[in-house]
Amino acid sequence: MGMPSLIYKWFFRAHSLKASKRNILGFVGIAPIRQTIIGMSTNLKPEEFKKLLGLMQKLGRAGL
């Protein structure tokens, strides 16, 4: 997302994540639901993006 993740979590209380978790994923029975929020993604340098992509792939493979 374009805004800092801490502001999204604390100020906006991650409203859209909570809504999709409750109204979509929870409704169809998917559990547990974990989330990783990456803020300021438009300002990432290519090497930072590559590092985060590797982290997301690792978390996905581990089921986290």
Average model confidence (pLDDT) across the chain: 89
* Res 57: pLDDT: 94
Please tell me what DSSP assigns to residue 41: G
3-state SS class at 12: coil
For the chain, which residues make up each domain, given as ranges? 5-62
pTM of the shown model = 0.65
Strand (E) or helix (H) holding 1: none
Residue 54's alpha-carbon distances to 15, 20, 60, in angstroms, are 27, 25, 10
The per-residue pLDDT for 64 is 66
pLDDT one-digit tens code per residue, 29-54 = 998 888 888 888 888 899 999 999 99
CB 34 within 8 A of CB 56: no
